[in-house]
Amino acid sequence: MGQKFRGAGVALITPFRKDSTIDFDALGDLVEDMISGGIDFLVVLGTTAETATLSAEEKKNVVDFVAEKNAGRLPIVVGAGGNNTQEVVEGLKNLDADKIDGILSVVPYYSKPTQEGIYQHFMQIAKYSPVPVILYNVPGRTGMHMDATTTIRLAEASDKFVAIKEASGDLNELAIILRDRPENFSVLSGDDGLTVPAISLGADGVISVIANGFPAQVADMVHSAVSGDFPKASAQHMQFLNLFNLLFVEGNPGGLKLH
């Protein structure tokens, strides 16, 4: 199942109108741009979608809309995480598994659980999720780093865990996961600026932010790297070098929306 989540994934933004309502016309255009640009899978309601600012009804409407617009063309992943394990589990019970292909679930934030606490949290998610789970390690946002040994422990404990979005920025940790991972467990870069280096170590792709603005270029860079054409991928990476920093000066996804 992890093979479904390889290559160039995109963490979709949520476009808003001036009155703070969701701009579904713009979101529809964005989905079409991602598909025509060669993106491999869509991630809805991630951090980049400003999910923390959306109501429960808005979240449902976004998922329903993207699923309808996509019409089965690309795999869809939906963000489904939090620091209240029971609340996450209850949300999973109400998930419409017919519309999506997987969930992206972040390490519990703010509470700063132990590695054992992280493990038990995700095992509950694996128990109740009706679809495959992509783990998400982003200590810069959660305040807690999920060790590579915990990632491997989870990957070996349940077939429900099919991939990890690794956004710790630590290539040594990523290399340990790549070395020890089970077969068919995908490793995805969570940092645009580390995508090509990560793939050079054996990673399977990226869940990208900047692909919202440059889908064809990001897809081509990732596909070049995954196919082993690192001279081409490295040259493409260098063309993005300034953007990797500039697009995040105002925070994610502020730079993209200004773009």
pLDDT at 107 over 70: yes
Degrees to nearest 5, angle at CA 252 with 246 and 258? 60
Report the pLDDT value the prediction gives residue 147, as an integer from 0 to 100: 98
Sequence-distant (≥ 6) Cβ neighbours of residue 9 within 8 angstroms: 39, 40, 41, 42, 43, 77, 188, 205, 206, 207, 208, 211
Residue whose pair of structure tokens reads 């996450």 in the numeric block: 88
Mean pLDDT of all residues in 158-168? 98
Catalytic machinery residues:
136, 165
Q: What does pTM read for this prediction?
A: 0.96
pLDDT at 2 over 80: no
pLDDT at 239 over 70: yes
CA distance 248 to 226: 25
Average pLDDT across the chain, whole number: 95
Mean pLDDT of all residues in 178-207? 97
Residue whose pair of structure tokens reads 């419409």 in the numeric block: 96
Q: For the chain, what's the residue count? A: 259
Residue whose pair of structure tokens reads 């038990």 in the numeric block: 120
Beta-bridge partner residues of 165: 136, 188
**Using 50, 70 and 90 to split pLDDT, how confident is the model at 1?**
low
Beta-bridge partner residues of 238: none
Report the pLDDT value the prediction gives residue 185, as an integer from 0 to 100: 97
Mean pLDDT of all residues in 87-96? 92
Dihedral sign from CA coordinates of 245, 22, 45, 29:
negative
Mean pLDDT of all residues in 1-22? 91
